[in-house]
Structure 1
């Protein structure tokens, strides 16, 4: 995405449009203006006596942040942890790790199995044989990682989404933060399945006086790469929610999963960012 981001949009769209007709719409993605350049690469990190293992999601490297003050949700979570003195471990082989969902969702069983094995071996080592909780900053990846480890027979792993962890372990230690009037949220399918929506709403309440979840909220249908391959899916699925969100004319638009943020940004014309980015920009600004 970084290379494409530096090339004029129209020629790229033209080439991709032809390729989609020739190769197929289920293979070649459609480029749209709201897609950002790539984000920062993931790197190992070691601290003495770590309290958590952090698994920064690879989707943050594929799609960079749209937040004016941040470098993505992974960077935001690290800054928040540093602010309150929480030490973390990021595995040495982080650049080759993934939750496995892209393989599993496309029926690539051997790829999903291989990634699950690699993930289990790496996280067992990093967590000191599952003693430390494992935190991920994209909720669909958190859910995918939990499933992948269970499929490997891992029963002792403590998997927690970064939003839930922040609400429980970081938010109580934060000072009062600058607030806006209204924040609109987009919960996700995974955050609903994992019971993280209350934590999302609580964190949003730290940066906004009023928090709104549209009554028409539903799955954005971005579904990994489906929103890139079939933009009409997200357009249809988000139509009612987008109308409600736009009419709110809120100060902040937030979610907790990068691809869902892209889907809602496309649907509404409003910039959706990860709630941790907004929190970190106020509690632990980059230039502080």
Structure 2
């Protein structure tokens, strides 16, 4: 069996530890042994996107050192997976990005499963994040996994392909535009009547969560936590 490592990401490590725990739960349920290399750090996306190429390069090299011995690196972040896949070749010439998989890619394309034995008796809508959709081309992989969850009532999100307005530093540098985009996303989420809004990136869910906490709407949740649930 492949040597599989968990790349937790900075946001999850600091704010959402239940999400990477959920990833391990799902993978172990499928029979995988998952390593967690403690020396892992940031992927460098924030630095690269802000023009700090030297810092991003150092972090990319560190990633290669930490994860180089693994056949597959699984992460609950389309954003960070896209960083490794798209930018590392330009920063360091490394091909390690080909071994980095967002969770749904690993489950559907590598493990070859859609039903992971989950049960989640709630109404859920799904927001396809920009990096997952545009950079990784996840398509309907997360939705296929969610549709196989027992007890779930999956409802469509109006204008699902529209950005939530986060975009990392975009939300800080273009706050008025970001806030307008967020308002549209939150209104569409509320219109579904869903209890939960799922997505593949907790960064986007943090942004949306701030909006729905003020205007009302479904509770944000990473879809990995739904897949880990057997309640």
Give me the TM-score of the superposition, normalised by structure 1: 0.69
The residue aligned with 1:138 is 77
Count of aligned pairs:
221
Q: Structure 1 residues 179 and 159, CA, compared in 2 at 3 Å: closer, same or farther?
A: same
CA contact (8 A) 1:84 1:173 kept: no
The residue aligned with 2:9 is 57
The residue aligned with 1:166 is 107
Question: Is 1:196 aligned to 2:138, yes or no?
Answer: yes
The residue aligned with 2:117 is 175
Q: Structure 1 residues 113 and 198, CA, compared in 2 at 3 Å: closer, same or farther?
A: same
The residue aligned with 2:180 is 236
Separation (CA, whole Å) in 2 of partners of 1:281 and 1:106: 37
Question: Structure 1 residue 203: deviation in Å?
Answer: 2.0
Question: Structure 1 residue 73: deviation in Å?
Answer: 1.6
SS in 2 for 1:272: strand
The residue aligned with 1:281 is 229
CA contact (8 A) 2:199 2:221 kept: yes
Separation (CA, whole Å) in 2 of partners of 1:249 and 1:220: 18
Question: Is 1:153 aligned to 2:82, yes or no?
Answer: no
Correspondence 1:1-288 to 2 at 5 A: 51-64=3-16, 71-94=17-40, 97-124=41-68, 126-127=69-70, 132-151=71-90, 152-155=92-95, 157-168=98-109, 169=111, 171-172=113-114, 174-175=116-117, 177-180=119-122, 182-193=123-134, 194-207=136-149, 208-215=152-159, 217-227=161-171, 231-268=175-212, 269=216, 270-282=218-230
CA contact (8 A) 1:222 1:263 kept: yes
Q: Which stretch of the first structure deviates more once superposed, 272-281 or 114-123?
A: 114-123
Separation (CA, whole Å) in 1 of partners of 2:161 and 2:211: 13
CA contact (8 A) 2:157 2:188 kept: no
CA contact (8 A) 2:37 2:66 kept: yes
CA contact (8 A) 1:204 1:211 kept: no
Give me the TM-score of the superposition, normalised by structure 2: 0.84
Which residues of structure 1 form unaligned runs of 5+?
A: 1-48, 65-70
CA contact (8 A) 1:183 1:204 kept: no
Separation (CA, whole Å) in 1 of partners of 2:181 and 2:229: 31
Answer with 1 or 2: which has the greater Rg: 1
Which residues of structure 2 form unaligned runs of 5+?
A: none
Q: Give the aligned CA root-mean-square deviation in angstroms.
A: 2.4
CA contact (8 A) 1:221 1:234 kept: yes
Question: Structure 1 residue 209: deviation in Å?
Answer: 3.2
Separation (CA, whole Å) in 2 of partners of 1:176 and 1:78: 14
